[in-house]
A and B are shown apart, each in its own frame.
Chain A
C-alpha cells in the first residue's frame, strides 16, 4: 500500500526556518518524481515545488524561490522541504504527493499533510 507521511510542521516565528519531511513506503521511491503542494487555511491548493527521481531537476513557484528548498534521500525513501525566511503567508498545510508518470504530471497519491503556522 502506498503511503506518504508528512512531519515537521509546527509554529514558527516570521523569519524562522523549518524542515518538512515526507516518508514514503509501499512503492519504489527512487522511481518517481515527487512534489509539494500547500493549502492556506480555508483556501485553495497551491503547487510549491517538484523534484526528479535523482534530484537532478528541481522546479518551484516564484514565491518560494530562494527561501524553500526541495530535496530527497532515496536511500531513506524520504522527501524534504526546507523552509526559511518564513512569512505569515506561508502558513498552510503542506502536502507531499507522488507524480505517477512525469509525462502525465498526475499526482496520484497524497499524504495527509503537515501544518505550518508562521506567527509571532
Chain B
C-alpha cells in the first residue's frame, strides 16, 4: 500500500498569514498520463470532509483561490495564501493512484 505522511501534524496560524502543509507518498503517484493522483480534503470541526484540490493542483468547484496545490511524484504541498478563521480544521492528503486509496494522517490547523 502507498503510505502517505504529512507535516506538520499541527499548525497554529495567524489570520492573514500564509500557511503551508507538506504531503509525501511512499511511492510516486504520478500516472503515465502525466497527472498526479493526489487530492486534498478539509474537515472542518464537526463536519464531513470537503474536497479542496484534485490531481495535485486543481481547485475544486467553489474553493477560494487562496488555496493552491503543487508538487509532483512523491512530494506535494498545500498552500493557503492568507489564512482566514473559516479555514480551521484538519487537512488530509489522499492518494488515488492505486487501490487501496490512502489518506495522510491529517494536519490540524487552528488559530493562534
Contacts and interface: CB of A to CB of B under 8 A. Distances in A.
Contacts of B103: 44-47
B55 A104 contact: yes
B54 A104 contact: yes
A106 B54 contact: yes
Interface string B10-49: 0000000000000000000000000001010101000011
A37 B101 CA distance: 10
Interface in B47-63: 48-51, 54-55, 60-61
Interface in A77-118: 95, 100, 104-108, 110-113
A100 B39 CA distance: 13
A100 B92 CA distance: 18
Contact of A108 (B51, B92, B104): B51
Interface residues of B, number: 24
B51 A107 contact: yes
A44 B105 contact: yes
Interface in A46-63: 46-47, 50, 59-62
A67 B90 CA distance: 30
Given A45-B41, A45-B92, A62 B48 contact: no
Contacts of A105: 37, 39, 54, 96, 101
A111 B48 contact: yes
B96 A112 contact: no
B103 to A, nearest CB: 5
B100 A113 contact: no
Contact of A47 (B37, B48, B60, B100): B100
Nearest to B55: A104
Contacts of B70: none
A104 B61 CA distance: 14
Contacts of A106: 39, 51, 54-55, 60, 96
Contacts of A47: 94, 100-103
Interface of B: 37, 39, 41, 43, 48-51, 54-55, 60-61, 90, 92, 94, 96, 99-106
